[in-house]
Structure 1
């Protein structure tokens, strides 16, 4: 290869690299996808067949991210008029008390379901090193003010669909046995649990239905045809999407609406819309 051809090739590669960098920084982090997923549930009441359940996860309200994008995403989601809305943790990226005001600003526009709105906390909602329960309490209180009932190892039945909320796996209040030990298996159940690694913990007591999680962001950057190189879970199988577990449970991992760092490649931000079916 002569010098002229080499320089032309280098310029082309440099241009492609620049465009890819701009795309991963300024385009894909804001290219929201509404993912439609059928959700068959055992014992689902006839009145709930065809209803929609929207999952929003990992908004990471804070200083590293455009909060207006979150507000605009909520406004788009509201146009779908979901019947149920669930939030699966990491509402904030906590650095200081400044995040409490930011959380109020964003969640003044929260998406709420016609039949109910629930959520669970994630590790970032527990402050620095996930060990500040007073931060988690403040976050939960603000969300309750905005119409989102936060389940902390608790269950709540909405119109015949029973939601079980497990507090965060890495936080200071992870106590799944409090709620899983007396779960009624003959009712329609859905578990909300921020960290999908909990699916591998011995806490399920014969549960056979859906588990909705977030936490991974799908890895945020995933080379085509390869695994995501960075996942904050023990079980590296748990990336994003639907996983049929061997004992009758179905795990769904949302790719996150927000992010910690403004970079995404081949992993668009997601809001999931489940359509309820008889299982």
Structure 2
């Protein structure tokens, strides 16, 4: 069936209406709309005894209590409702204001996970305050904060290491310290804010899984094809989703907040629920 021709005036009107609708979504709707991504990750280095372990991954809060309070309340409620075994927070808790750490921690202190909540530095955190300051504040709320160090969990008799690096962009990452004491037989969950450091990590040693943020998934993406027109240093190779190198795997989240202009398009805030499966 041949469609009737569209007049130039009508075409201009439709384009304008589409642009207005997209702008309203990008500036006023999508930045406040939390999405939950459910993924099963097949991990060659995961022992079968830990098959089914569920990790909630949150990152890039860039928290501003004036604009993000309701979204963050929804994040906490949705995360706890998933009853995760582990919660991983991979940095950029604030943008450029140290005063926003305390109100964010009022939210994060409500997080609940069977085997604990673990956090690391992001580049914006490191540009704004010291790692020691962040570590002290977070650990006062019961959140384990890792900077070039690791901790080993005993889960039903099986060991699982969680290793957290310092931020990469003008930070002081030290993989030797981060992996200190971990043999290759201990499955390791690596928390690294900037995803492109994955290449450095796997050059050092295989890891079961690396979790990263930093890119915001591009923050604004081209619908359907998922292309991100803008990338960021240390987040150009791995922008969003799952990647693999040998037996190691990487997952990059879209994150929760925004930096710069508070805008998201075809890339809503994300709570990633990752179910680990032995391959």
Shorter-chain TM-score tier:
0.7 to 0.9
Work out whether residues 44 and 187 of structure 1, in 8 Å CA contact, stay in contact via their aligned partners in 2: no
Inter-partner Cα distance in structure 2 for 1:61 and 1:90: 9
Inter-partner Cα distance in structure 2 for 1:259 and 1:235: 15
Question: What residue is the counterpart of 2:107 in the other structure?
Answer: 106
Query: How big is the shift at 1:102?
Result: 2.5
Cα distance change of structure 1 residues 104 and 206 upon mapping to structure 2, 3 Å threshold? closer
Inter-partner Cα distance in structure 2 for 1:23 and 1:213: 26
Inter-partner Cα distance in structure 2 for 1:200 and 1:83: 27
**Where do residues 1-279 of structure 1 align in structure 2 (5 Å cutoff)?**
5-41=7-43, 42-44=45-47, 46=49, 48-62=50-64, 65-95=67-97, 97-109=98-110, 111-128=111-128, 132-133=129-130, 136-158=131-153, 159=155, 160-180=159-179, 182-201=181-200, 204-224=203-223, 225=225, 227-234=227-234, 236-245=236-245, 247-260=246-259, 261-279=261-279
Aligned length: 267
Inter-partner Cα distance in structure 1 for 2:201 and 2:192: 14
Inter-partner Cα distance in structure 1 for 2:116 and 2:105: 20
Cα distance change of structure 1 residues 77 and 29 upon mapping to structure 2, 3 Å threshold? same
Inter-partner Cα distance in structure 1 for 2:186 and 2:47: 7
Cα distance change of structure 1 residues 104 and 50 upon mapping to structure 2, 3 Å threshold? closer
**Greater than 4 Å deviation, 4+ residue runs:** none
Cα distance change of structure 1 residues 40 and 185 upon mapping to structure 2, 3 Å threshold? farther
SS at match of 1:161: strand
Structure 1: state its 5+ residue gaps: none
Work out whether residues 65 and 259 of structure 1, in 8 Å CA contact, stay in contact via their aligned partners in 2: no
Query: How big is the shift at 1:120?
Result: 0.9
TM-score, scaled to structure 2: 0.87
Cα distance change of structure 1 residues 171 and 223 upon mapping to structure 2, 3 Å threshold? same
Inter-partner Cα distance in structure 2 for 1:62 and 1:6: 44
Structure 2: state its 5+ residue gaps: 1-5
SS at match of 2:238: coil
Deviates more, 1:264-273 or 1:232-241: 232-241
RMSD, matched Cα: 2.2
Work out whether residues 56 and 88 of structure 2, in 8 Å CA contact, stay in contact via their aligned partners in 1: yes
1:169-210 CA-partner distances (Å, limit 9, x unpaired): 124332222133543111221111000121122674231421
Inter-partner Cα distance in structure 2 for 1:32 and 1:264: 12
Deviates more, 1:15-24 or 1:195-204: 195-204
TM-score, scaled to structure 1: 0.87
